[in-house]
Structure formats: C-alpha cells, structure tokens
Structure 1
C-alpha cells in the first residue's frame, strides 16, 4: 500500500510539474546560462515541497475559500509574465541573449535571479491549485501513513525534475553556441510568456 502511494505521488507530481510552464522555461534558461543554477533549483524544489506539504496537511481549502486572492495573483502574474515576455522578445530581436551566455555564468545577480524565480513560482495561481488543492485531494485516497508517503513521492518528483532541468540544460550548450539558437529560444519564450499572460487575464 505504501509503495503504491509513493508511486502514485511521484506520478501525479511529475505529471503536474513536467508540463511546460513559465517556471520551467525560466529554469531551463538559467541552466543554459549556468547562472545561479543551484539556488534556482533549490528554490523551485523547496517551494514545491512547501506547497505540496501544505496541501496534504489540508491547507488547500484556503485557496478555494479565497477566490479574490487567486484573482489578485492572476493580475500580478499576468503583469509579471507580460514584462518578462517583452524582455525575451527584446533579447530575440537584438540578439543580446547570446551575449549573456558567452559570459560563462555572468549575468543577472543572485538577488535578481532569486526574486525572479520566486515571482515565477508564487505569482502563478495555478501552482496553488495544482500542488495544494489537486495533490492535496489526491493524497486523501491513501489514508494514514499512505498520505504522508504520497507527499514524499510528489516532492521527490519535483526535486528530480528541477535538478534534471537545471543541471541537464548544459547538455544543450553545444547547440546554443550558435547565437541564432538563443534568438529562437528567446522568441519562443516571449510568445509563450505573453500567451500565458493573456490567458491569465481572460480566464
């Protein structure tokens, strides 16, 4: 029973976390730049652990009881994604992203990278619905110790994914030695972020 709960938690967590999202795009870019990767991986993983644990503990009902808070997060998240998307569009247009990459880890300060990562994580209302509400609800199918083990499985999925994404991105570095590859990546990120921003305002 406990093994089943662990596998279920890992599978459910992986299914939600690995889905393409603004946070993943940010972690991927930081990994390619080799810019504060350890800090970014730690923040994203620990944030998920915190939210998953809160959901399994039953705090997820707060999210559903405060729809106005979710609405404010949507507005803030939409604005943040729009700004970041426009910055990516500028990098794609000017080719400045490749210049950052050639600096071997130089670029945004640790403080700027951490604040940006926190914004991507906590200004996204879906992160609360996915981790606290959905995973919290799924965990109730495994009562007792099984619920705790389910949470461990989901947390492990988060850690494994962000470590693989952040540190595995360097395997793509040969591709991104070409400045045009950075322009394509930034163009994709720009379209993705601006689309997400619009969807947040519409939904």
Structure 2
C-alpha cells in the first residue's frame, strides 16, 4: 500500500511543480494574502477530482474524443491571453501594487472564477492529471486508489506550501518594484502558455 502511494506522491509532485498559470496565481494570492485558503482548497479539490476521474477511466474518453481537448485548448489560450494582459497592465501601471492593503482587490467570487478557469481550462490538466496519472494508477491494479491518494497528497502538500508559504517572501514584495517584476514575469508566462496552447507546441 505504501509503495503505490509513494509512487503516486512522486508522480503527482513531478507533474505539478512547474511554472504554470495555476501556480503563478496561487503564488500571487499567497503574496497578497487574499483568499489564500479558498484558492488552495479549490486547487487541491480539483486535482483530487481529476485524479479520481483518471482512475475511473475518463482519460480514455479524452483520448477517444480529441476535439474536446481542442476546444478546451482554444478557450484556455484566450483566457490566458486576457489574464496576461491584465498582468502586463499591472506591471506598467503599479498604482496599488504592495503586499498588503491594496485598493480594488478582487472579491472571493472573482478569485474563485479565476482559479477555476486557470485549473479547468488548461488542456494539460486533462492530459497529465487525468490521462497520465490515471494510466499510471491503473497499472497498480487493486492498489490504484493508493496511488491516487499519494498523487492527491502531493497536490495538498504543494499548494499548501506555495499558497501559505508565500508570506515568507512578503518583505521582498513590500516594494512596488518587486511586484512589477513579478507581474511582468507572469504576463510573459501567460502569453507563452497561451501560444503553446493555441498552436500545440
């Protein structure tokens, strides 16, 4: 039982610890200290649902109907371009970019909508989390759910560390210039990921 769970933990962490739209958003919310618990919870629950879907065999549907992935890819690319544009605007117009006490901060509904879009409009989440992790899990036969539990635990550990651990960097982001660099970097990442999604490279 422990061996499949450990393998799942390693596989889950290997796939999730990468520079991406979702991780960038979790980091930014953690630095700002805004609705961090909500963002982390949505990411963890979403990953658990997607991993379970893969173990149940939903990955075969994704494989059999590639048009679904194409639609998600184009929608995700459009969303990432828009999010990147907002990040670029913040970088060039840092009127309220400080670690705390920002004006015009998004409410919980806007944050919830953004994290759901960044998670569920990402075609790679279906290819990696559903298809790949689902396939790896099912290779363990009756112990596949232990693998899935390990992979889900990886998401819990990563998003908790990223979201709640970001506060350790707040002294660095007490200066508006640091926020400009962060948002500029986020804008570049979003545009790159959008292009990658749209053109499939």
Band of TM-score, shorter chain: over 0.9
CA-CA distance at 1:151 after TM superposition = 0.4
Count matched residues: 200
CA-CA distance at 1:97 after TM superposition = 5.3
C-alpha separation in 2, matches of 1:178 and 1:88: 17
Task: Please give the per-residue CA displacement for 1:158-186, whole angstroms capped at 9, x wherever unaligned.
Answer: 01100110000000000000110000000
Unmatched segments (≥5 aa) in structure 2: none
* Conservation of the 8 A alpha-carbon contact between 2:96 and 2:102: no
1:51-200 pair list within 5 angstroms: 51-96=50-95, 98-99=97-98, 101-103=99-101, 107-144=105-142, 146-200=143-197
Question: Which structure 1 residue ranges, 4+ long, deviate > 3 Å from structure 2?
Answer: none
Unmatched segments (≥5 aa) in structure 1: none
Q: Aligned-pair RMSD on alpha carbons?
A: 1.3
TM-score by length of 1: 0.95
C-alpha separation in 2, matches of 1:43 and 1:90: 26
